[in-house]
Amino acid sequence: MVRFDNVGMRYGVAPEVLRDISFSLEAGSFHFITGASGAGKSSLLRLLYLAHRPSRGLITMFQHDLATANRVTLTALRRKIGIVFQDFRLLDHMTLRENVALPLKIDGLSSAEIESPVEELLDWIGLGKRMDVHASTLSGGEKQRLAIARAVVRRPSLLLADEPTGNVDPDNSVHLIGLFRELNKLGTSVVVATHDESLFTQLNYPRLHLLDGSLRFIPAEGN
């Protein structure tokens, strides 16, 4: 599904922040990206959600070579990817329903086509009874759940999450990871970037561990 071969990444003319990165993500897999602050976790995610092109190397995603993909192809690929940011990036002046519906509206779906999947997702994250309140009224954990619902409303093949538990308490962290695991069981590939050691020590998933821009693959125990 996703393959990196000897990928390097730099910003402008600065030294590379990622060097010789090689790994594969299979359909239906679950991986953590780990490493200290500044190790390159966010930069790797930027490559994965197509916000940045590599400075060298080959990235193949959904059977497309990103080096030769045109704008139309890149737009289509981005629709296969859901992203959950640490800072939520919700529209606080909009309701929960409107926030989750926004990607589908951008895609041109009608109100009738949007209503059912949006309400189902809000029920799934436990906020169905509050779907018409503004996002600004939510707690941090509730905002993160809403961000997850918005990220998966298009039913992406790949879900990326950048430090999703960084701004929530331990109970909400457990709930959020539970949502990711449910999505993974339904077939969505999940990649979670985190510095929260409790997550990757308790959950037996492989890790893409970054150290000073280089990557080491750490398999799940027993593999």
Question: What is Dmax (Cα atoms) for the chain?
Answer: 50
Tell me: do 11 and 109 sit in the same domain: no
Packed helices 140-152 and 111-124: angle between N→C axes, nearest 10 degrees: 140
Query: Does one domain contain both 139 and 163?
Result: no
Q: Which long-range contacts (CB under 8 A, 24 or more apart) does 70-77 make?
A: 74/50, 77/50
Domain holding 44, by residue range, is 1-80+157-223
Please state the rounded mean pLDDT for residues 141-145.
93
Can you tell me the distance from the alpha carbon of 186 to that of 102, in angstroms, rounded to the nearest whole number?
23
**Whole-structure pTM value:** 0.94
CATH assignment of the domain containing 170: 3.40.50.300
Q: What value does the mean pLDDT of the chain take? A: 94
Residue 40, by phi and psi: left (phi above 0), alpha (psi -120 to 50) or beta? Answer: left
pLDDT confidence of 198, banded at 50, 70, 90? confident
Q: Do 31 and 69 share a domain, yes or no?
A: yes
Residue 167 has pLDDT above 80, yes or no: no
Q: What is the pLDDT of residues 34-56, one digit of tens each?
A: 999 889 999 999 999 999 999 99
Q: Are residues 75 and 181 in the same domain?
A: yes
CA atoms within 13 Å, Cβ hemisphere of 123: 6
52 C-beta neighbours (distance < 10 Å), count: 16
